Amino acid sequence: MDVILILLGIFLLWFLTRPFTLLFHELGHALPALLFTRQKTVIYLGSYGNTGKSISFRIGLLEIWIRFNLFTTGGLCLSSPSDMRVWQRTIFLLGGPLFSLVLGVTGSYLAFMLDSHGFIKLFLVIFTASAIFDFYFNLRPGNRPVLVHDGRITFNDGYYLKQLLWHRKYNEAVEEGIALFEAGNYKEAIVRLERQRTKSIGNPTIYAFLVAACINKEDYTKGQSYIEMKEIYCGLTSDDYCNRGIILATTEGFVTALDDLQKSLVLDPENVFALIYLGYVFNMLERYAEAIPLFDRALELTPEDGYGFNQRGLAKVKTGLPEEGLADILRALQLTPDHAYVHLHLGIYHLDKGAPEAALLSFNKAAELDGEIESLPALIATATANSTAIQGPGYK
């Protein structure tokens, strides 16, 4: 019994120290960012950028959002890495896992040197263990993406550190092009990177950023041409096949995208973007039953992906699982409340359930968020007609 109580106590202390580890980790990123950029820096604790149900406060240029969520221990620090030099970005990336580790080791050392209370010693030892855990898993490069609340993706510190060290062998112009891409200036990024591509025609990283910039800029013809060049000079990766599938789906139709998206998953079965996009393509082709396992796997890898929940919800609604589908759509609504397609799919659920008035509310909200959804006018017309038929001509 004593052993069980001790283990439960250690587990409880571990659970209590994790938020502190997270806080000091994100501060370890934020403080160098503030020092090097002199620009606004935002920390999110308990979410990946979700300000809903959060408390916030500011200290100068530092803004902190805290969301109390027992099941989400994630955190995020947003700054302006494109304004930092390579050595500054290296400190920025290392600062997070190092700061919590140094605090833990120093605190534990002082606690034992000063012979502090036993609880303080135990707490700091477990905090140090948590910091070591954090240090290892954050600096070990991982390719598994994390979906940020606004729809972007991010990776762990080790991934970006590896990329940063890899890019050091490229000249300054390439680094500037990548920084422009990361800042969302896709047009200028393409100009800079294309200039360097001609000097380093076999450089796969330059092609990867060029393709991504073209897709974000919706210049699909040029993006396709860069993929063809990369296939000749470097060969294609899982991401390349996924990107080509996205381009083909947009320019030539969903059926044409299937082959490349499936090749992407052969090369990397855990490519989350390929899993979700192939599932989306199956949804658009009304092959809903084939889409569901893809979304299942994607959500195992990224369990807070609102887009994945939303698309799986539609697939379940259309395969005779309306209540499961509704649960997924409502989860997507929690994660991405301002995503037009979540409201679109919620409207489809209501329409299929014979509730046209509720459907109209959702469709109108979708139209308010994105008035360019092609299927919306027909769905609104159907919901309006069904609502009128239910109410009858004498309804007031």
Record the tokens describing residue 247, joined without a space: 């381009």
Report if residue 160 sits inside a domain: no
Report if residue 289 sits inside a domain: no
pLDDT confidence tier of residue 395, bands split at 50, 70 and 90? very low
Report if residue 138 sits inside a domain: yes
Report if residue 189 sits inside a domain: no
Report if residue 69 sits inside a domain: yes
pLDDT in tens, 197-245: 887 777 788 899 999 999 999 999 999 999 999 888 878 899 999 999 9
Report if residue 181 sits inside a domain: no
Spatial contact of 305 and 72, defined as CB atoms under 8 Å apart: no
Segments forming the whole domain that contains residue 117? 2-153
**How far is 290 from 254, CA to CA, in rounded Å?**
14
Report if residue 76 sits inside a domain: yes
DSSP letter, residue 183: T
Q: Which of 134-148, 285-299, 382-396 has the lowest mean pLDDT?
A: 382-396
Given a cut of 50, is residue 392 above it in pLDDT?
no
Report if residue 46 sits inside a domain: yes
Cα 262-263-266 angle, rounded to 5 deg: 90
Residue in the structure block whose two tokens are 């805290």: 66
The secondary structure of 198-220, three-state, reads CCCCCCHHHHHHHHHHHHHHCCH
| Distance set, CA 278 to CA 254, 285, 343 (Å) | 9, 11, 21
Span 332-354, average pLDDT: 94
pLDDT in tens, 273-288: 999 999 999 999 999 9
Provide Rg for the chain, Cα atoms: 25
Spatial contact of 75 and 20, defined as CB atoms under 8 Å apart: no
Read out DSSP for 231-260?
HHHT---HHHHHHHHHHHHHHT-HHHHHHH
pLDDT in tens, 151-203: 666 778 888 887 777 656 556 778 788 888 888 899 999 998 998 888 777 77
Q: What is the pLDDT of residue 396?
A: 36
**How far is 349 from 347, CA to CA, in rounded Å?**
5
Domain count, the chain: 1
| pTM of this structure | 0.60
DSSP H helical ranges for the chain? 2-37, 86-113, 118-139, 157-167, 172-182, 186-197, 204-217, 220-233, 238-251, 254-267, 272-284, 288-301, 306-317, 322-335, 340-352, 356-369, 376-391
Q: Which of 94-103, 145-154, 158-167 has the lowest mean pLDDT?
A: 145-154
